Amino acid sequence: MSTTTATPSTETPTRRSFDYKTFLANNGALVGLVVLCIALVIATPDFLTGQNLLNIGIQVSTVAVLAFGMTFVIVAGGIDLSVGAVAALSAMASGWFFISAGLPGWMALIAGLVVGLLAGVVNGAANAYGKLPSFIATLAMLSVARGLTLVISDGRPIKTAPEVSFLGGNIGPVPMPIVILVLAALVASFILNRTVLGRSMYAVGGNAEAARLSGLPVKRIIVTVFALAGVFAALAGLLLAGRLDSAQPQAAAGYELDAIAAVVIGGASLSGGLGKISGTFIGALVLVVIRNGLNLLNVSSFWQQVVIGLVIALAVGADVLRRKTRNS
């Protein structure tokens, strides 16, 4: 029989080293935003003024609300290239219902949201039941929505209802777009994190076939996801129309790229199954702060396009690296 007894270890527990790679992978967008803000504070004294920060808040509202809907689509494994055009069509339709059809202002506002909802349902049905890739289905919708916007307006701006203009006003000292932004973020975060639908989006985006075999109604989920993206796009279009006090036929042109970039910068994966609303909000802030800073530094709009394009390329490259790291 052994007489050996266990002796208590005299070694002190080793402290776990800080894993900066994991930290950067999970918080890269936030770190980049902080570094960007510090650089702009040093480069220009106008950046940190109250008026400029308020402008950033107002400008980010449209992009972020649009991107919240895009987050649902990308988490579910799709892409929506039509959100900018749907935003313009929804605002234009709302103006038409108010001016030409004579609907009360509040009904015209709701009609604009319904137009966005219907556009999203068509996108989702074409993808889920028509077997069209989301890229193709939404590219077609982009063209249709832009065309309808020009048909309705005959290429001219249309006056919006007072209820829509209210969205671009203030509540006391607080701009209404910022209030809408906060409410939209809370609703989107609740849907994605606290509902069965949100969990289903992650499952469908992670592996649609496995989700189908586990009993999830994948096609209905896809239609619902695109419908939500359409509603958020319509809300963004109405916000923009409220700020401009009119519906513009070329409004939100190119915003679909900003929305996709905001979602990817915020940590979502273009292959689906990964993404969060807070990350999307930070991604939208990064884009708006870059544009704002370049304006303050008097950089031409042509070079701004180049810089934004490089940021998008870096974000997509980071997504590819994340996927490789996850699969290795």
Among 153-157, 197-201, 292-296, which is the least confidently predicted range? 153-157
Structure tokens at 64: 């972020």
User: Would you state the pLDDT for residue 172?
Assistant: 84
DSSP string, 152-182: HHTTS-EEPPHHHHHHTSEETTEEHHHHHHH
What is the pTM assigned to this prediction? 0.89
pLDDT of 221-252, one tens digit each?
999 999 999 999 999 999 999 998 899 888 88
Length of the chain measured in residues: 328
Considering the domain boundaries, does residue 40 fall inside one?
no
Considering the domain boundaries, does residue 10 fall inside one?
no
Mean pLDDT highest for which of 32-46, 160-174, 211-225? 211-225
Considering the domain boundaries, does residue 21 fall inside one?
no
Alpha-carbon gap, residue 33 to 41, rounded angstroms: 12
Residue ranges making up the domain that contains 127 = 48-317
Cβ-based neighbour number of residue 172 at 10 Å = 5
CB 249 within 8 Å of CB 155: yes
Considering the domain boundaries, does residue 37 fall inside one?
no
Confidence of residue 3 (pLDDT cuts 50, 70, 90): very low
Total domain count, the chain: 1
User: Would you state the pLDDT for residue 318?
Assistant: 75
Considering the domain boundaries, does residue 54 fall inside one?
yes
Alpha-carbon gap, residue 236 to 280, rounded angstroms: 15
Task: Output the domain CATH number for residue 107.
Answer: 1.10.3470
- Judged against a pLDDT cut of 50, whether residue 4 lies above it is answered with no
Tell me how far CA of residue 54 lies from CA of 60, 120, 227, 301, in angstroms: 10, 31, 31, 21
Considering the domain boundaries, does residue 5 fall inside one?
no
Q: What is the mean pLDDT of the chain?
A: 89
pLDDT of 124-146, one tens digit each?
999 999 999 999 999 999 999 99
What is the mean pLDDT of the segment spanning 154-183?
Answer: 90
**160 Cβ contact partners less than 8 Å away, ≥ 6 residues apart:** 91, 94, 95, 98, 108, 241, 242, 245, 246, 247
Considering the domain boundaries, does residue 106 fall inside one?
yes
- Written as one letter, the residue type at 6 is A
Considering the domain boundaries, does residue 104 fall inside one?
yes
Torsion angles phi and psi, residue 174, rounded to 5: -95, 125
User: Would you state the pLDDT for residue 1?
Assistant: 41
pLDDT of 282-316, one tens digit each?
999 999 999 999 999 999 888 888 888 888 788 77
